[in-house]
């Protein structure tokens, strides 16, 4: 399309776009559709078509768009639109109104990670004017803070109904360092159903708490075992797989055999570790514990559900994503990060992927979350370098 014939939508300066995005309360248990509606309309105003990927209930959606040639894969900028809750945190200002002061922009999601999304969106008019030879794809997801599953439907269409990107840059806050590795995480909920009886006659029932204790103790034992299996790379802190029981609840009285016990637990694995090992060993023990329970309570049950599965990100030295991000950020080495991201899903689909975005994770998830204006400006420089790279 001739530049003079292009649609002209509403322009936003990067900080103004960030203010607009922060104003949407997209805490993970709420809908992100008002934000997605805004982004879709904004892109349409510039003549950019987009594709939605709704969740099963239709109250959330991811959005994919391409700027530049539609017949080839390019560089994907990936960011999530959901944020963590603010309830119970001591904010000194409205978390959903951007407040700029003393070189910082405050607001929920300012750094994690609406800052990256705002920069990508604010520069859309410039991307269009650059007549890109290599397209820039935008992909904005939901539920990253709870399951990291908001990207999977869109990823499944890459190379089918959507272009298959050559490189993926996930814009989580890394202070624009290049993260090429992080652990994977799987989270689980286990429900133990026993049979209530008087504690003086345990043979008349089955204690769900006793069964749950045996299961939790095995998870603790496995956690201790993992602490001896040190990763030799020295890139991770801590340098081993971790297993954690975060919640254990059951029983109603000291002298009643509990008929219910719930466990919430997680496994964080290094790249290269077998993510199936701990769940498989837990499942085997569950069968042993259940067989013991059913000797006195045939109706006893143990049910475990995996609530999230976030694959780790493994180093891929020399990949197109790593090489590009290093050039754009002016770095010559990579880092590993302790937190999980959506990057592992892209890599699992065979897409070269790194994590690189403005701001520090140290300011994320906290009251008075902020991104420094210095990092925000550096993120804009990063985006403009990408634009120049893609127009060549």
The predicted pLDDT at position 56 comes to 97
352: nearest Cα among 377, 319, 376:
319
% of the chain surpassing 70 pLDDT: 98
CATH superfamily of 3-182+313-391: Zn peptidases (3.40.630.10)
Q: Kindly report, residue by residue over 20-50, the tens digit of the pLDDT.
A: 999 999 999 999 999 999 999 999 999 999 9
**Average pLDDT score over residue span 305-334:** 97
198 upstream amide cis, omega within 30 of 0: no
On whether the CB atoms of residues 183 and 235 are closer than 8 A, the answer is: no
Q: Does residue 1 have a pLDDT over 60?
A: no
Residue 8 vs residue 351, higher pLDDT: 351
Q: Does residue 209 have a pLDDT over 80?
A: yes
Q: Kindly report, residue by residue over 255-291, the tens digit of the pLDDT.
A: 999 999 999 999 999 998 999 999 999 999 999 999 9
CA distance 219 to 293: 19
Q: Do the domains spanning 3-182+313-391 and 184-310 agree at the CATH topology level? A: no
The predicted pLDDT at position 4 comes to 53
**Can you give the residue ranges of every domain in the chain?**
3-182+313-391, 184-310
Map tokens 């008087």 to a residue.
198
The predicted pLDDT at position 7 comes to 82
CA distance 230 to 182: 15
The predicted pLDDT at position 5 comes to 62
Question: Residue 169: which H helix or E strand, with range?
Answer: strand 167-170
**Average pLDDT score over residue span 198-223:** 98
Of the pLDDT bands very low, low, confident and very high (cuts 50, 70, 90), residue 100 is very high
What separation in angstroms does the CA of 189 have from each of 180, 265, 294, 311? 30, 7, 21, 18
Count of beta carbons in the 10 Å neighbourhood of residue 301: 13
Residue 202: DSSP 8-state: G
Q: Does residue 251 have a pLDDT over 70?
A: yes
The token pair at 206 is 């089955």
Q: Which CATH number fits domain 184-310: 3.40.50.280, 3.30.70.360, 3.10.400.10, 1.20.810.10?
A: 3.30.70.360
On whether the CB atoms of residues 235 and 181 are closer than 8 A, the answer is: yes
Collapsed DSSP state (helix, strand, coil) of residue 12: coil
Count of beta carbons in the 10 Å neighbourhood of residue 145: 20
The token pair at 117 is 């999304």
Count of beta carbons in the 10 Å neighbourhood of residue 257: 23
On whether the CB atoms of residues 77 and 354 are closer than 8 A, the answer is: no
Q: Does residue 392 have a pLDDT over 90?
A: no
Cβ-proximal residues to 364 (8 Å cutoff; 6+ apart), any chain: 84, 111, 112, 173
The average confidence (pLDDT) of the chain is 97
Q: Does residue 242 have a pLDDT over 60?
A: yes
CA distance 164 to 221: 43
**Average pLDDT score over residue span 216-224:** 98
**Average pLDDT score over residue span 356-377:** 98
Angle at which helices 373-391 and 320-329 pack, to 10 degrees?
A: 120
On whether the CB atoms of residues 154 and 64 are closer than 8 A, the answer is: yes
**Average pLDDT score over residue span 41-63:** 98
What separation in angstroms does the CA of 144 have from each of 94, 170, 172, 273? 23, 12, 11, 22
DSSP annotation string for 136-153: EEEEEES-TTTTS-TTHH
The predicted pLDDT at position 120 comes to 98
Q: Kindly report, residue by residue over 144-203, the tens digit of the pLDDT.
A: 999 999 999 999 999 999 999 999 999 999 999 999 999 999 999 999 999 999 999 999
Q: What is the dihedral of CA 381, 14, 388, 357, to 10 degrees?
A: 50
Of the pLDDT bands very low, low, confident and very high (cuts 50, 70, 90), residue 8 is confident
257: nearest Cα among 224, 296, 303:
296
On whether the CB atoms of residues 183 and 312 are closer than 8 A, the answer is: yes
β pairing state of 353-355 and 167-170: parallel
**Average pLDDT score over residue span 240-252:** 97
Residue 72: DSSP 8-state: S
CA distance 307 to 98: 33
78 strand-pairing partners: 139, 170
On whether the CB atoms of residues 337 and 355 are closer than 8 A, the answer is: yes
DSSP annotation string for 352-366: -EEE--SS-GGGTTS
On whether the CB atoms of residues 263 and 190 are closer than 8 A, the answer is: yes
Of the pLDDT bands very low, low, confident and very high (cuts 50, 70, 90), residue 349 is very high
């Amino acid at each position: 399309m001739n530049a003079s014939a292009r649609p002209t939508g509403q322009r936003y300066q990067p900080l103004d776009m960030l203010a607009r995005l922060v104003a949407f309360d997209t805490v993970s248990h709420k809908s992100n559709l008002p934000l997605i509606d805004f982004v879709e309309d904004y892109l349409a105003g510039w003549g950019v078509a987009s594709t939605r990927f709704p969740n099963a209930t239709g109250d959330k959606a991811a959005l994919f768009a391409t700027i530049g040639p539609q017949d080839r894969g390019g560089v994907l900028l990936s960011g999530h639109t959901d944020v963590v809750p603010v309830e119970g945190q001591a904010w000194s200002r409205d978390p959903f109104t951007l407040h700029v002061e003393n070189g910082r922009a405050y607001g929920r999601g300012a750094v994690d990670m609406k800052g990256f999304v705002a920069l990508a969106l604010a520069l859309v008019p410039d991307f269009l004017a650059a007549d890109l030879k290599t397209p820039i794809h935008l992909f904005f997801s939901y539920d990253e803070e709870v399951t990291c599953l908001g990207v999977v439907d869109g990823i499944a269409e890459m190379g089918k109904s959507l272009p298959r990107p050559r490189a993926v840059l996930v814009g989580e806050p890394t202070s624009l360092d290049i993260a090429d590795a992080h652990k994977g995480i799987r989270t689980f909920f286990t429900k133990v159903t026993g049979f209530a009886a008087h504690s003086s006659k345990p043979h008349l029932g089955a204690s769900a708490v006793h069964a749950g204790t045996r299961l939790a103790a095995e998870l603790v034992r496995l956690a201790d075992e993992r602490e001896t299996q040190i990763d030799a790379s020295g890139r991770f802190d801590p340098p081993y797989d971790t297993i954690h029981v975060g919640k254990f609840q059951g029983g109603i009285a000291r002298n009643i055999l509990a008929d219910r016990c719930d466990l919430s637990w997680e496994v964080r694995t290094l790249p290269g570790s077998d993510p199936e090992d701990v769940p498989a060993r837990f499942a085997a023990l569950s069968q042993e514990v259940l067989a013991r329970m059913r000797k006195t309570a045939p109706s006893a049950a143990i049910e475990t559900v995996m609530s999230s599965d976030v694959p780790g990100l493994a180093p891929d030295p020399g990949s197109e994503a790593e090489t590009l991000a290093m050039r754009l950020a002016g770095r010559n080495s990579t880092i590993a990060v302790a937190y999980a991201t959506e990057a592992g899903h892209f890599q699992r689909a065979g897409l070269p992927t790194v994590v690189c975005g403005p701001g520090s994770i140290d300011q994320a998830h906290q009251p008075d979350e902020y991104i420094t204006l210095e990092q925000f400006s550096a993120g804009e420089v990063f985006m403009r370098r990408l634009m120049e790279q893609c127009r060549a």
